[in-house]
Amino acid sequence: MRKIGRFHRLFVYARRIAMRNSVLGVALCFGCLVASSDAWAQQGAGSQAVLTIQYSRATGAPVTKCQSFKANSGPGTMTVINGSPSGENRVSSALVQLNGVNLLDQRFFNQQQAQAAINVQLLANNNLCVQLASAPGALLLVTVTEPIPALIAGTVRDRNTGLPIANARLFFYGTAFGTVFTDANGNYVFTAGQLTSFGGGISGNLYVGATGYFEAAPVFVSDLGSQPSLPVVENITLLPGGTVIEGVVRDATTSLGISGAVVSFNRSPMSTFLGGAGTESVQTNADGSYAIDSSYFNESGLTSGFFANLMVNANGYLGVSRSVSFSTYPSVQNFNLVP
């Protein structure tokens, strides 16, 4: 009952702090669980530390220490770790202020409270002030992080169902290049650190695809430096495809399937996000069967038709090649290899 009472008092205190500072975007959480809100959730690009500083209680009267730091204006997070990793030297009384706002005071700190994460509203120029009033040697580590600014962001969905596609691959190529993948909710983000520039302004095409889908038509992104605001939001849909070419590779003498045969191919229209103009390959299964997925092709082939040059090789057999053109799929291409 005493533990429940302590938690209740902390919760009530946190709620009072949050209500008092709501106009400043301050919210508090306990047990290392960062409270979420739309402002913070929309960032989605990870975070970077703008300030990490450790405070140690010295002897004598408590002293307030202030530290100025710069950040991007907007939502951020302050993490406060109380004491050493072993749980010793914890602070029992302190005051933590950011830009004149009291975030934590002696009512929060106790020997059992190891860590807190606080959502804060950062300014271009910030001032952090901390005063420790505990026993000498008490430690407090404060880290302030801000979201990494997103340059391009959006969601990839199934064109038929509207459901998000996880692990879709997005390849940006133009005056810069980079690759990212969607998360479990189909969301993706390109940050500056995920785009390697060739120099000058950044513009180019987004090539997007996923296993079981055709690559979408390229999406052009104009110069990021000329955009009215960032991130540029590009939501993309993919058309389900599945297997486009399939068949069985057999021994020409026994008609048995050949396991581990390599079916190499180049194709048109190619999917830029997956291999581009290079030669790709798949291997046959234990029964000699193979399948080439729609992700190797751009969806424009649904109107222009598809072409593939297939090359099949296996240890102990003569290789064979075949060029095929087709407009409906899956195209069945079986091969008999001569030992």
Kindly report, residue by residue over 126-135, the tens digit of the pLDDT.
Answer: 999 999 988 9
For residue 295, the number of C-alpha atoms closer than 13 Å in the C-beta half-sphere is 18
Fold (topology level) of 243-337: Immunoglobulin-like (2.60.40)
Q: What is the DSSP string of 68-84?
A: EEE--SEEEEEEEEES-
- Range of weakest confidence among 40-49, 101-110, 114-123, 276-285: 40-49
Is 224 buried (19+), middle (13-18) or exposed (0-12) by CB count in 10 A? buried
The pTM for the full model equals 0.67
Convert the pLDDT of each residue in 233-245 to its tens digit.
999 999 999 999 9
Give mean pLDDT, residues 267-280. Answer: 88
Give residue for tokens 């979201």. 147
How far is Cα 70 from Cα 2, in angstroms, rounded to an integer? 42
Residue ranges of the chain that CATH labels 2.60.40.1120? 150-238, 243-337
Q: How many CB atoms lie within 10 A of CB 279?
A: 11
Classify domain 2-147 at the CATH class level.
mainly beta
The type of residue at 47 is: S
Instruction: With beta carbons less than 8 A apart as the criterion, state whether 110 and 102 touch.
Output: no
Convert the pLDDT of each residue in 54-69 to its tens digit.
999 999 999 999 999 9
Instruction: With beta carbons less than 8 A apart as the criterion, state whether 170 and 181 touch.
Output: yes
Residue ranges of the chain that CATH labels 2.60.120? 2-147
Instruction: With beta carbons less than 8 A apart as the criterion, state whether 210 and 180 touch.
Output: no
The DSSP code for 163 is -
- Residue 136 to residues 62, 82, 84, 131, 177, Cα–Cα distance (Å): 10, 14, 14, 13, 53
Residue 209: predicted pLDDT: 96
Is 273 buried (19+), middle (13-18) or exposed (0-12) by CB count in 10 A? buried
How far is Cα 314 from Cα 316, in angstroms, rounded to an integer? 6
Residue 192: predicted pLDDT: 87
Give mean pLDDT, residues 101-124. Answer: 86
Classify domain 150-238 at the CATH class level.
mainly beta
pLDDT at residue 31 is higher than 50 = no
How far is Cα 17 from Cα 13, in angstroms, rounded to an integer? 6
